[in-house]
Chains A and B, each alone.
Chain A
Amino acid sequence: MPENKWGMVIDLDKCTGCQSCVVACQSENNIPINTEDIFNQRRAIEWIRIERYWEGEFPNVRARYVPVLCQHCDEAPCEPVCPVLATYHNDQGLNVQVYNRCIGTRFCANNCPYTVRFFNFWEPEWPESFKNQLNPDVTVRSRGIMEKCTFCIQRIRRFSKNSESTERDLNPACTNACATDALVFGNLNDPESKISKVKSKGKKRSYKMLEELGTEPNVIYLKKVEKGTKQEHNVH
């Protein structure tokens, strides 16, 4: 068994939909500015996004939130379709995108059921002064290549190289920002890690998104809790 298998637990009972994670990710990972035009073209890049689903209608209405990011699937559908091996699975559980191999076929995005892969249709642009903020640890992706959540691989690398690192240094930007601690990141192979404990505590509530597809995600969701739901809606 490899030493590390990185994963994330997302507790939907804690997630409020505030989107702190979204901005934290954009700041950490040099994501280009999603302009109004980009939204209108449906090409906004959000490595982590909050989806909002409606149930019912006023006055018996519910909005529900779910953070969606790359699920780092063990059986990732995006991997076998890449003709140049730009995306593949490593031995630490990460689904990895090698930017300088990518030739932009977009087959991977086509094959991803979670729509978490994003194509750079244009060179990213920032006003000159904003470039001061860009994270030097993260490549600015150029036109014509795919990008996606890396679980902040640059942080994992820093963590592994520095013996004084703490859990916060390892955590992806989204996890550190998450005000309710709905996101927990860590090593699923370490029974003492926070993620393993949260996972085991929430065992009865845990599920994986679209698990019937057999993608074997490494992102584990904990169900939202609601009184009387079973009786009222007769689900699962």
Chain B
Amino acid sequence: MTTSRRKFLGLLGGTAIGAVVFQACGVPEKELIIQAPFEMPEDLVTGIDNWYATSINTTPATDGVVVRVMEGRAKKVEGNIDHPINQGKHFPRTEATLQSLYNPDRISSPLVRIGPRGSGKWEQISWTDAIARVSEQISNVEDKSSILIANNRISGHAQLILNNFSNALGCKNLIYEPIESTNLRSAIKHVFNQEQIPDFDIKNTKYLLSFGADFLESWISPTKYSRDFGHFRQGTDHRGKMVHISSRYSMTSANADEWIYVNPGTEGLLAMSIASVIIRQKLGPQPNVESLTENGKFDLADYSPDKVCQIISPYLTPDKIVNIANEFMEHSPSLAIGGDTAGSHTNGADSLSAIYSLNYLADNVGKKGGVIFQPKPALPDLINREISSSFSEWEKVANDMQKGQISIFLTSNVDPVYGLPASLKFRETLSSTRRVPLVVSFSEHMDDTASMADLILPQGDPLEEWGSNIPDPGPGYQTIGFQQPVVRPFFESKGRHYGNKSFSDSLISISKTMDLDINVESDSIKDLILEDSKKLFKLKRGSVQAQTEKAFWIGLLQRGGWWDINNTFKNKINKPPKFKKLTTAKFNNTPEYDFHLIPFVSNGISDGSGANLPWLQALPDPISTATWSTWVEINLKDATKLDITEGDIIKITNQNGVSIEAIAYPNPASAPNTICVPVGQGHTSMGRYAKNRGANVLSILDASKDDNTGALAWSATKVKISKTGNWKKLPQLENELGGEIPQDPERKVIKIDGDGEGKHHH
């Protein structure tokens, strides 16, 4: 570093001379000119930074990121321009991973409970002790199938290790998702015969029909879809048209050219009606039509616009349905997608099947601007295993726990205590050591489930750990994201016996202590990934190629992963399955309980996993601009009728008598008789930013399920609402400028182009 010291002295000399010149000038006017803002002392740049590539699984999909690191600390996260999914872009949740890494309430070492379960009294223990305790308890259980591991949806080597561990031990393994993808996956399997969610090529489509899927803020891969959407709008000379169909007006609805309100649970019915028009008018490709209708045996007459229009929405006309059907067929390639509320009713899976079948009528399957299937992973071991995640499985778990049939409950990165409906009494059951003898959490943060644990073996932050992941949905070609530690572990200073350890490494350690053969030669997930990188190296194709294994490994890490744009789905595309008769969505209709409750995921704290991150708590919701709270969107006329004004505290009660309270937000876009409440608040634990803030709407959901898949019908709850008489100011952005709801009738701020360059379809 001697040269840099000399250089430093030289720079110092230069600065001194500069200062002399400034002083010589003397007069303030001159100072104005000479002191360019670029040279302001506030903005002098002194440090050396490095940007490291990695990938993190924070949005529903996995995004590739680069992290700016200075002096061993992460300063900034941005999208990795090389990564196929997000291509240089990132979402609020991705950025806020920094606040997860440096969260003041992170768990810094293994903990053992010293008070009653759930009391929050812990004692720090060493990793050796923690691993030994878990291993001993697992060994002591005779019936290993009574052990349950619950985790979030993971992929790559972490899943491989978990899979091998569960198989070797003979225990159960369940995924928990507060907003389930069970129905979506079931519909994809049924309609396309695919295990993985295909790539929906929004970028190149010309007409997008979206049913319920809030793909711009929260649905499965929002960063990629947003990127595609920018191109869809103004990337070419032909501006794409988007029609969004849903019961709640969301940010995605706001971005559509047309938003069509449908009564809850009728999204599939509208899709069938559109199909009936296409088939009646003979607009669809004949072989696909024959296959879908089994040569005309499946009669779509019951779904004709005249018959179903009023069921779908009082604001819809049969002509409108015919019009959409025609537009959908005229603008090739067109694309139909569905998710979120469209798949969250008792007929959810069938509704989604009807929606996705439209793609066969548009003849876009396997084509640009349509539905593009994923190839098998480059490393066959990393194929995504189908693990059940349906609500009915969780109901069974809750029952088994009550009967004392679950001996050890291990959780990683999931919070079922928070997310499952209160009617399952999961929290109460878990609080009894007699019913569930041992609860182990591998959580990084003290979430509601971790707070009920006996032992916590905290995993590290994604920015501190090794890993790999296969994005789901992928980009339509083979892709593996690599995750590397971009910073030293934050709790490294506590010594090697404390601090954090990844979930995978904990499982490997437990298996070694138990002498359990999990068919993994390596001592850590890092070694396993390194070994597998040699297999990738031998393929001699893809985004990273090198002369030596070592150079290849370094290349992988520098690039944040490996992908091969030429390796796409090449198999034959199956004939479409025939339409299913659509059942009507069922609701528990009782007098008084006359409001449909539609929970939704805002792009800030998302499903609640971001509730401990202040940047996300403070992110104004795109519709209400509300922050830091739980609010309830209610139709303006309903609000007037019930004498509800903004800030009134509203009690929302379900038919089991369970209630939550939320702040009223009379919403110009809410439909009558529906109330919409954001998911994510109401934690009883999870640190200073999340604990006891707002209310947990998931807790008051009815345990009604999809007829076929057993998935939670999370939009099927009917509730009653009442004023509590209390009032609280809704913390929101729009109040900053004064006025209750900003209107811009003269379009002074936002100007609209009627038929400018957009080249709308006519």
Contacts and interface: CB of A to CB of B under 8 A. Distances in A.
A33 B612 CA distance: 13
Given A44-B618, A100-B41, A137-B43, A58 B670 contact: yes
Contacts of B28: 85
A59 interface: yes
Interface string B718-762: 000000000001011111110001111111111111111110100
A112 interface: no
Contact of A176 (B79, B253, B255): B79
A231 B618 contact: no
| Majority DSSP secondary structure for residues of A touching B | mixed
B373 to A, nearest CB: 24
Contacts of B252: 16
B191 to A, nearest CB: 28
A123 to B, nearest CB: 17
A23 B619 contact: yes
Contact of A16 (B101, B103, B226, B668): B226
B754 A54 contact: no
B102 A132 contact: yes
A11 B196 CA distance: 34
Contacts of B101: 133
B43 A161 contact: no
Interface in A110-148: 115, 127-130, 132-139
B508 interface: no
B749 A133 contact: no
Interface string A45-58: 01001111111111
B78 A44 contact: no
Given A51-B749, A57-B636, A154-B45, A18 B668 contact: no
A209 B749 contact: yes
B204 interface: no
B623 A23 contact: no
Given A161-B45, A225-B760, A235 B747 contact: yes
Contacts of B13: none
Interface in A1-25: 11-14, 16-20, 22-24
Contact of A133 (B47, B98, B619, B744): B98
**Chain A contact residues (Cβ within 8 angstroms of B): what range?**
35 or more
B76 A224 contact: no
Contacts of B75: 133-136
Nearest to B315: A59
Contact of A63 (B99, B216, B254): B254
A100 B42 CA distance: 8
B620 interface: yes
B40 interface: yes
B27 interface: no
A81 interface: no
B669 A63 contact: yes
A27 B95 contact: yes
B223 interface: yes
A98 B37 contact: yes
Nearest to A97: B37
Interface in A40-88: 40, 42-44, 46, 49-59, 61-66, 68, 85, 88
Given A139-B42, A157-B43, A221-B751, A90 B619 contact: no
B756 A223 contact: yes
B528 interface: no
Interface residues of B, number: 107
Interface in B579-599: none
B91 interface: yes
A158 interface: yes
A136 to B, nearest CB: 5
A107 to B, nearest CB: 18
A191 B480 CA distance: 39
Q: Counting chain B CB atoms within 10 Å of each CB, which of A28, A153, A179 scores highest?
A: A179
A176 B91 CA distance: 11
A31 to B, nearest CB: 9
Interface stretch (B404-412, B434-442, B624-632): B624-632
Interface string A221-236: 1011111111101011
Contacts of A227: 257, 754-755, 758, 760
A190 interface: no
B76 A173 contact: yes
B750 A179 contact: no
Interface in A197-236: 201-202, 204-205, 207, 209-210, 221, 223-231, 233, 235-236
A96 interface: yes
Given A20-B91, A221-B751, A233-B752, A179 B239 contact: no
Contacts of A34: 614, 618, 627
Contact of B102 (A26, A129, A154): A129
A160 interface: yes
A127 to B, nearest CB: 4
A64 B604 CA distance: 19
A193 interface: no
Q: Counting chain B CB atoms within 10 Å of each CB, which of A65, A136, A204 scores highest?
A: A136
B73 interface: yes
A156 B45 CA distance: 11
B734 A52 contact: yes
B757 A65 contact: no
B14 interface: no
Interface of B: 28, 32, 36-38, 40-43, 45-47, 70-71, 73-79, 81, 86, 88-92, 95-96, 98-99, 101-104, 106, 216-217, 222-223, 226-227, 229-230, 233-234, 239, 249, 251-255, 257, 259, 261, 315, 490, 603-604, 614-616, 618-620, 622-623, 625, 627-629, 635-636, 668-672, 729, 731-737, 741-758, 760
Closest CB pairs A-B (n = 7): A180-B230, A230-B754, A225-B758, A179-B226, A39-B731, A127-B104, A96-B37
27 contacts: A18-B622, A20-B90, A27-B96, A28-B76, A36-B629, A36-B731, A39-B627, A39-B733, A40-B729, A42-B736, A49-B733, A51-B749, A57-B669, A58-B636, A58-B670, A61-B668, A63-B623, A65-B254, A96-B37, A127-B104, A129-B103, A129-B104, A138-B42, A168-B81, A179-B91, A180-B230, A229-B754
Given A59-B315, A63-B253, 4 more contacts: A24-B95, A61-B249, A63-B669, A99-B42
